[in-house]
Amino acid sequence: MITSTSSAALARRAARGVRRAVAVSLAAGLALAGAALTVPTAAHAADDTIGILAAPAGPDGSADGRTRFSYAADPGQKISDQYVVRNTGTTVQTFTVLSTDAFNDEAGEFALLETDAEATDIGSWVTFENGTDRLQFELAPGASRLVSFTVSVPADATPGDHVGGLATSVKTPSGQVVLDRRLGTRMYLRVSGDIQAGLSIAGLNADYIGDWWNPFSGSVRVRYTVENTGNIALASNITVGASTWFGIPTGAEQGDGIPELLPGGTRTYETDLPGIASWGYLNAHVTLNPFVEGDDATKLLPVPATSRDTILFAPPWTILIALAVVGIALIVRRWRAKVDARRAEEWIAYTEAEAARKAAEREVVGAGSSS
């Protein structure tokens, strides 16, 4: 998902979300050659540092430029690969390399299970040279080790993407707590079978925000949840807009990209569409254009776009009040006209009656005189 009260606030929040997603991806999902984790530690001398470098590697023990492990396999198949770990710090450190599962956290971002958590999916399929899903060893400053591992796909593995990662952990005491410094590399394994790709939009609703007295300057706030209903990981480009009577667009559409969602993952968003007048009837819509992330061409496939809309009412109160005042004035004027017409008719009838009465009196008086 997120709360924003203006387009500027939304932009700042989106920027923070992007920065946060990039930071999580770098810390939990990417191990780039030459990017070392170097921090001071209170357990050693003031100039001692802890540094971790870990990346996919070739058989020669050198990082081979991959930013993630990406495989495609059949149920029951085994895959072998390598991972290079280097101590870029200044002290001897104990490294723990482990395989674990990935998930989307509460913010919908990519994350790996904690070091001590037990993996149940792809993290449990990986074994190192000691036959377990984690390996521990010491490295002197500047030293590196090539870690070989095997991914054994179960015979009953379900089709689609199984996502996890290899994490390199160094734990050091710091006062009363133990710091767990980790550097992770994402691992994607697509099991053959019935591949289903799709994102859906749920919980879509919208509100009109603006000053009641100014019908020409407002915004529409759209809230929606994106859910990965398929069995492969997908990112998406997204477009949010609004239209009014007869489908006429109003305001400016907002477009952005959303981070990768794992199968079953969800994330809730909120977008403000500025510059929309209160036309009475408004139709807000959201369109997703999903795609497969990564540079593995064998996994790329077309994914159909999906869209959803919702109707909201934004009455132009000042216009309605003005129309109401005009309407009341017309009604009062018509009523007064009817009243005046009735009074005129009554007056005419009265004067005619008086004239007739006086004429009758004169005839009576004239007849008496004649007698």
DSSP 221-289: EEEEEEEE-SSS-EEEEEEEEEE-GGG-EEEEEEEEEEEEE-TT-EEEEEEEEES----EEEEEEEEEE
Which of 216, 238, 232 has the alpha carbon at shortest distance from 301? Answer: 232
Q: Are 266 and 241 in contact (CB under 8 A)?
A: no
Pairing relation of β-strands 144-152 and 126-128?
A: antiparallel
Note the pLDDT of residue 11: 37
In this prediction, the residues of the chain whose per-residue pLDDT falls under 70 are 1-47, 367-371
Note the pLDDT of residue 173: 85
Note the pLDDT of residue 369: 63
Round to whole Å and give the CA distance between 66 and 54: 11
Single pTM value for the model: 0.74
Q: Give residues with Cβ within 8 angstroms of 289, minimum separation 6.
A: 236, 237, 238, 239, 303, 305
Phi, psi of 195 (to 5 degrees): -85, 125
pLDDT in tens, 284-322: 999 999 999 988 889 999 999 999 999 999 998 888 888
